[in-house]
Amino acid sequence: MSELTTVARPYAKAAFDFAVEANAIDHWLEMLVFAAEVSKDDTIKGFLSGGASAEQAQDLFLKVCDVQLDSNGQNFVKVLAENGRLLVLPQIVIQFSELKAEYEKTAIVDVTSAVELTADKLTTLSAALEKRLARKVKLNCNVDASIVSGLVIKTGDMVIDGSVRNKLNRLATAMQS
């Protein structure tokens, strides 16, 4: 996986820099997401992995994507095809999304709770996280009754586990040692 990240990084950076210059970050993200979904298709993946020439891969890919890609998006796909990197598109989308979040000073935060959080609690949590992270926060909320009570908050490398399940696990470990 880290190899794909390394391969995808320069392409994502180039696409993102171009999108910033053109003031079209959201448009580029849409194009990349569509192209990545095409590259995930089993038939397309088989064709691209089967030793097709760069021209054949490029032609097929552009025909499938058709009007979903503008001329700049088509040129980007051509470069990827010439370098045999069309299968890296899903990782390019991930890298591009991370660059977009950094550029816009936003963070996607996964919040897991034992019960559905009220609107007031979500607002309070969002404000606290925005202050702590110094970014605009978008919450992805999940319910998992197995955590008993409390919250598990994840964003990037940061994990805050304030769940009762975690506290019970730590207590059990302490008692066993």
Q: At residue 76, does pLDDT exceed 70? A: yes
Specify the DSSP element, H or E, that contains 155: strand 151-155
Instruction: Please give the mean pLDDT across all residues of the chain.
Output: 91
pLDDT for 1: 53
pLDDT score of 42? 86
pLDDT-derived band of residue 52, with 50, 70 and 90 as boundaries? confident
Assess whether pLDDT exceeds 90 at residue 173. yes
- Cβ atoms of 57 and 81 within 8 Å: the answer is yes
**Residue 46 clears pLDDT 90, i.e. is over it:** no
Q: Enumerate the β-bridge partners of residue 161.
A: 152
Contacts of 17 (CB under 8 A, 6+ apart): none
Assign 3-class secondary structure to 14-69: HHHHHHHHCCCHHHHHHHHHHHHHHHHCHHHHHHHHCCCCHHHHHHHHHHHHHHHC
pLDDT at 50 over 80: no
Residue 111, pLDDT above cutoff 70 = yes
3-state secondary structure of 127: helix
| Whether 91 contacts 4, CB under 8 Å | yes
